[in-house]
Structure 1
Amino acid sequence: MNRKPLQAKKRALRVLRSIKTVAAAGLFCTAFSGCSTLTQPIDGVPANRLPPQFFAEPKNDLVPVDISLLSLEPPRDYQLAGGDILGVYIEGVLPFNPPNAPPEPPPVNFPDAQSTLPPSIGYPIAVQDDGTLALPLIEPLKVEGLTLEQVREAIRDAYIDSEILRPEKARPIVTIIKERTYDVIVVREDGGNLSTQNIAADFIRGTSDRSASGAMVKLPAYQNDVLHALVETGGLPGLNAKNEVKVLRASLADQRKRAQFMQQFYAQQQAARLDPCACPPELPEDPSILRIPLRVKPGVVPNISAKDIELKDGDIVYIESRETEVFYTGGLLPGGEHSLPRDYDLDILGAMAIAGQGVGSAARTGGGSTFGVGSVGGVPPGRVYILRKTPCDGQVAIEVDLAKAINDPRQRPLIQAGDTIILQYKCEEELLNFGLGSFFTYGITELFRN
């Protein structure tokens, strides 16, 4: 009797039983100890069932504001006000000449190197803060809002009416020696040009010092606007600054309004803390601070008036950093903190790519490489959760099926500041990976051993 076929059959049965045993052990261990769906459950809401208020506002379609709206339109003729310095020459009066003495020629004044004014003639006389011009032998003249030609005529008429000069001798010369300027404070937190891709993380970790920079700039009349203040200190806000400009007025009325606003807000917060069922209020918009957006929706023209962008002495132009506009990654994604793009949208697939995890590839850590599966290929993780903060210290977990997200853009939520992204295997994916790993590690070994 030939026993070889019988022995081969028994050997095959032993190998099959070994493989079944290993597979069963793998399924048991995975189900009760390795499946993160069971050990670390997250109650998520599918992205297609989430109400619209939980989604981030898209910004891909935003367009830059016409920067000419941030600049004052100068008048055709320069209009005088307090702080201007005029060059005035009045023959026989300024300077005074004795009778029958030849008149002195007027002095010539050359402007500073930074000035765009032409050379002027005359003796320097400043326009007072009340808008008047003090000249010899006559009452102060009200010149605020007048042009040089109008001031020249007003001086001539004043000396003729006072019978100090005859009409044929009254030929005053009026020029402008120095324009009035406004001292404006500019505080910028954009830190100039970007040198790294992860600016926000550098801020928080302390590896990059991008402290706010401040400057006091002197802006000439009709250039005392937001655009000139930005140009004098480095240009429009950089990529690590918010797409807006804040203007804080230096007037006492605005300062009192800001102080009253903060007192009311903190009083509301204190009252909310005393009530365990109350929701702490969020900081509303300060009515005393002007916010000028730099990007708006197509077709929208921001309501910016000349009064809004005009700056006075002591006003503050503030460029705020966006270092808190970050999202976090965890789970099977490499843990980290990443900054959000400023001018374009970032969906869940793009956020995973930024974190270093390509969609459809095996995870860098976790079950994807267990028992050698990473070396032969395994099932990639197919589910990701977006943990998003809600008002009153709440949270909503958005569940995204990556297979559906790849095929349907509506299944790809946009990432917003403060989100935490957690990548996980589905339970069946982890079971399959564990089974593949067990087979390639133990099954093939057992097959060759028998």
Structure 2
Amino acid sequence: MNRKSLPAGKRASRVLRSFTTVVAAGLLSTAMTGCTALTQPINGVPANRLPNTFFAEPKNDLVPVDISLLSLEPPRDYQISGGDILGVYIEGVLPFNPPNAPPEPPPVNFPDADSTLPPSIGYPIAVQDDGTLALPLIEPLDVEGLTLEQIREAIRDAYIEEEILRPEKARPIVTIIKERTYDVIVVREDGGNLLTQNIAADYIRGTSDKSASGAMIQLPAYQNDVLHALVETGGLPGLNAKNEVKVLRASEADQRKRSQFMQQFYAQQRAAMLDPCACPPELPDDPTILRIPLRLKPGIIPNITPDQVTLQDGDIVYIESRETEVFYTGGLLPGGEFPLPRDYDLDVLGAMAIAGQGVGSTTNSGGAGGILGRGSSAIPPGRVYILRKTRCNGQVAIEVDLTKAINDPKSRPLIMAGDTILLQYRCEEELLNFGIATFFTYGLTELIRSN
């Protein structure tokens, strides 16, 4: 019998039965194979039920530290110490001048091209490490901490007391030929660029060739501070470096303390390995390493003293990379690893956008569309899980309702380093997507054919 010759009621009944059969089969297949909530269950805890210890500290409100605190304030008059080279001229003594001979003019010394000192006059005499100045015919003078004017008076008084020069002839000239310098090592791990996904992945996989850069620099006196060390080697830490500066002192006492600290930590690790139920200890902050933060919470006054930012010979300034501060995506999100912003917060909705999945948009990855082998689904996925690592190799799964997250900022947890973000459909969303796709694919086709 011709399909069109059937009465209208019978045709509608047949279409309804065909559609019901297809939908029932589709719902059954979805429930059995397609619903990830059933086949890949995740025991998540809603974000509003977790204590604050599981969440990241916000950093949008961090205030940059005044960088002038990282430098030393030079004194009004330069104070001499061991390592300075002075220009000294004493008529008749330095240089020795025979009687009745015309005095020799003092030599003029021009500074190096990168020096800020003016030209100097006199013969070069180095100040010893103990702060003394050795001159002809007199005992060494203690000039530690004296200014140039005070050294001139000390030299004049010494030659007059020894009756080597008459008061009217004692007119020494003292200038600075070269300032003392301090050898400092700067190690920086911020030479790369972590603003793109591929470069971040290169760092994680070890395929990047952007290794740490190091330099031995010489800082003049009263410029031997952290700020000048950073300026000499490229400026403040970049975006792919941590918001802090580490200073490792070169003194033997600090080196011994660091060695003892590591020995104690290794002893704790060995003790924990003997107990299978014990939690392996985390490496605490080394108390001998000075950490200078570059951003702080509002209202916190940085306690940075001049002694902390002063660098001595052999000190190490270390800028540590943050190459491991990344998060991962999976599920219905495109899989990948992405760097976290350094200076502002990134919540779960922003992380989804970075991964290429806008909130409320449909997806081509699995779901009803994947089951049918056709385009994207009609109803977007509404649930996200944040897999967050805890101590002792543990994990907590934070469940985020995207509908609540869109309407309530408090329902959008901040992303932490090492998080894995999984986007999933709810079971009812997959069923609805399959039903809608089945209706438009088979129901309309059957209606057209029946008419």
With normalisation by structure 2, the TM-score equals 0.96
State whether structure 2 residue 332 is matched by structure 1 residue 332: yes
Helix, strand or coil for the counterpart of 1:322? coil
Distance 1:89 1:274 in 2: 73
Partner of 2:200: 200
- Call closer, same or farther: CA 1:64–1:376 in 2, change over 3 Å: closer
Question: How far is the alpha carbon of 1:204 from its aligned partner?
Answer: 2.0
Supply the distance in 2 between the matched residues of 1:193 and 1:27 (Cα, whole angstroms): 49
Q: Deviations over 1:228-281 (max 9, x none)?
A: 000001000000000000001111111111111111101101111111121111
Between 259-268 and 185-194, report the one with greater CA deviation. 185-194
Match of 1:91 in 2: 91
Distance in structure 2 (CA, Å) of the matches to 1:374 and 1:441: 10
Three-state SS of the structure 1 residue aligned to 2:7 is helix
Offset, 1:438: 2.0
Cα 1:134–1:405 change in 2 (3 A) is same
The superposition leaves residues 310-356 of structure 1 with CA deviations (integer Å, 9 ceiling, x where unpaired) of 00111110000000000000000000000000000000000000000
1:196 offset after TM fit, Å?
A: 3.7
One-letter identity of the residue aligned with 2:411: Q
Q: Which residue does 1:391 correspond to in 2?
A: 391
Question: Post-superposition shift, 1:443?
Answer: 2.5
- Do 1:370 and 1:434's aligned partners in 2 also have CA atoms closer than 8 Å? no
Residue 303 (structure 2) aligns with: 303
In structure 1, the partner of 2:257 is: 257
In the aligned structure 1, how far is the partner of 2:375 from the partner of 2:34? 20
1-side partners of 2:417 and 2:375: how far apart?
36
1:447 deviates by: 2.9
Match of 1:411 in 2: 411
Structure 1 CA distance, aligned partners of 2:210 and 2:364?
33
Q: Distance in 2 between matches of 1:169 and 1:312?
A: 41
Helix, strand or coil at the partner of 1:214: strand
Partner of 1:29: 29
Q: Distance in 2 between matches of 1:97 and 1:334?
A: 87
Contact 1:387 1:420 survives alignment (8 Å): yes
Choose 197-206 or 430-439, whichever is displaced more: 197-206
Does the 8 Å CA contact 1:87/1:177 hold for their aligned counterparts?
yes
Is this contact kept in 1: 2:188–2:214, CA < 8 A? yes
The offset of 1:392, in angstroms, is 1.3
Distance across 2 between alignment mates of 1:10 and 1:364: 38
Structure 1 residues 91, 56: CA separation in 2 closer, same or farther (over 3 Å shift)? same
* Cα gap change, 1:156 to 1:62, in 2 (>3 Å): same
User: Per-residue deviation at 1:179?
Assistant: 0.3
User: Given that residues 272 and 279 in structure 1 are in contact (C-alpha distance below 8 angstroms), is that contact kept between their aligned partners in structure 2?
Assistant: yes
Tell me if structure 1 keeps the 8 A contact 2:387–2:420: yes
Q: Which of 372-381 and 145-154 deviates more?
A: 372-381
Q: Structure 2 vs 1, CA of residues 70 and 122 (structure 1 numbering), >3 Å: closer, same or farther?
A: same
Name the counterpart of 1:223.
223
Shift of 1:375: 4.5
Structure 1 equivalent of residue 382 of structure 2: 382
Q: Is the 8 A contact 1:330 1:422 kept in 2?
A: yes
Q: Give 3-state SS (helix, strand or coil) of 1:27's partner.
A: helix
Residue 174 (str. 1) matches residue 158 (str. 2): no
- Please report how far the alpha carbon of residue 394 of structure 1 lies from its aligned counterpart in structure 2 after TM superposition: 0.9
The aligned counterpart of 1:66 is 66
Q: Relative to 1, partners in 2 of residues 1:192 and 1:14: Cα closer, same or farther, differing over 3 Å?
A: closer
Residue 294 of structure 1 is matched in structure 2 by 294
Conservation of the 8 A alpha-carbon contact between 1:237 and 1:319: yes
Find out whether 1:355 has 2:336 as its counterpart. Answer: no
Per-residue CA distance 1:284-331 (angstroms, 9 max, x = gap): 010110000000011212111101000011111000000000000000
The alignment partner of 2:88 has SS state of: strand
The whole-number CA distance in structure 1 between the counterparts of 2:134 and 2:426 is: 86
Counterpart mapping for 1:142-181 below 5 A: 142-181=142-181
Q: Distance in 2 between matches of 1:399 and 1:195?
A: 28
Aligned to 1:141: 141
Q: Which amino acid aligns with 1:360?
A: G
Following TM superposition, by how much is the alpha carbon of 1:387 offset from its aligned partner in structure 2, in angstroms? 0.5
Counterpart secondary structure, 1:261? helix
Structure 1 contact 67–227 (Cα < 8 Å) conserved: yes
1:111 aligns with 2:140: no
- Greater Cα offset, 224-233 or 94-103: 94-103
The CA deviation string for residues 191-248 of structure 1, in whole angstroms up to 9 with x for no partner, is: 0666746542231245542210111111000000000000001000000000000001
Inter-partner Cα distance in structure 1 for 2:368 and 2:163: 103
**Contact conserved, 2:226 with 2:309, CA < 8 A, in 1?**
yes
Using a 3 Å threshold, how does the CA distance of structure 1 residues 158 and 192 change in structure 2: closer, same or farther?
farther
Alignment TM-score, normalising by the size of structure 1: 0.96
Q: Within 1, Cα distance between the matches of 2:155 and 2:334?
A: 78
Alpha-carbon separation, structure 2, partners of 1:244 and 1:292: 5
Deviates further, 350-359 or 187-196: 187-196
Aligned residue runs from structure 1 range 420-435, under 5 A? 420-435=420-435
Letter in 2 for 1:449: R
Q: Distance in 2 between matches of 1:84 and 1:214?
A: 27
Query: Residue in 1 aligned with 2:266?
Result: 266
Instruction: Give the letter aligned to residue 212 of structure 2.
Output: A
Check the 8 A contact 2:184/2:313 in 1, yes or no.
yes
Q: Is the 8 A contact 1:55 1:413 kept in 2?
A: yes
Moved more, 191-200 or 37-46: 191-200
Q: Describe the shift of the 1:193–1:34 C-alpha distance in structure 2 as closer, same or farther (beyond 3 A).
A: closer
- Is residue 184–residue 316 contact of structure 1 (8 Å, CA) maintained in 2? yes
Query: Which runs of 5 or more residues in structure 2 are unaligned?
Result: none
Q: Would the aligned equivalents of 2:363 and 2:377 in 1 still touch at CA under 8 Å?
A: no
CA distance in 1, matches of 2:245, 2:364: 42
Q: Give the equivalent residue in structure 1 for 2:48.
A: 48
CA change 1:195–1:296 in 2 (3 A) is closer
Number of positions where the alignment pairs a residue of Structure 1 with one of Structure 2: 448
2:322 is equivalent to residue 322 of structure 1:
yes
